[in-house]
Amino acid sequence: GDSVTQMEGPVTLSEEAFLTINCTYTATGYPSLFWYVQYPGEGLQLLLKATKADDKGSNKGFEATYRKETTSFHLEKGSVQVSDSAVYFCALTANTPLVFGKGTRLSVIA
């Protein structure tokens, strides 16, 4: 079945550091790919999405590019802030309910 694998956390970075969170997927067909973010004590919020190969999703300084050849959707940000501390989930849907990765906890220290 469809699956998402993302890098294990936690990830701890200093403010203004570069962030990469790796995500790879296995799916039949042509899935849509998402990154969701969960701040402490809250539900998940959509961060960005891409619906076809080579699409780049972006929001709040975060970016991810849909790479069909490597089945990847890595999340990047050039300069993280303390307010970016959260859990990040990669997810996909291929005409199925959303399938999530296990999440990566990011802590940014001042």
Partner 1 sequence: NAGVTQTPKFQVLKTGQSMTLQCAQDMNHEYMSWYRQDPGMGLRLIHYSVGAGITDQGEVPNGYNVSRSTTEDFPLRLLSAAPSQTSVYFCASSKGQFGGQPQHFGDGTRLSIL
**Residues within the interface to partner 1 (CB under 8 A):** 32, 34, 36, 41-46, 49, 51, 89, 93-103
Amino acid at 6: Q
Give the whole-angstrom CA distance, residue 92 versus residue 98.
Answer: 6
Shortest gap between Cβ of 96 and partner 1 (angstroms)? 6
How many whole angstroms separate alpha carbon 85 and alpha carbon 104?
11
When the beta carbons of 59 and 72 are compared against partner 1, the nearer one is 59
Residue 46 vs 53, nearer CB to partner 1: 46
Alpha carbon of residue 82 to chain centroid:
18
Shortest Å distance, C-beta 29 to partner 1: 11
* CB 100 to partner 1: min, Å: 4
CA within 13 Å, CB half, 56: 6
CB 37 within 8 A of CB 21: no
- Please identify, using beta-carbon distances, which residue of 17 and 65 lies nearer to partner 1: 65
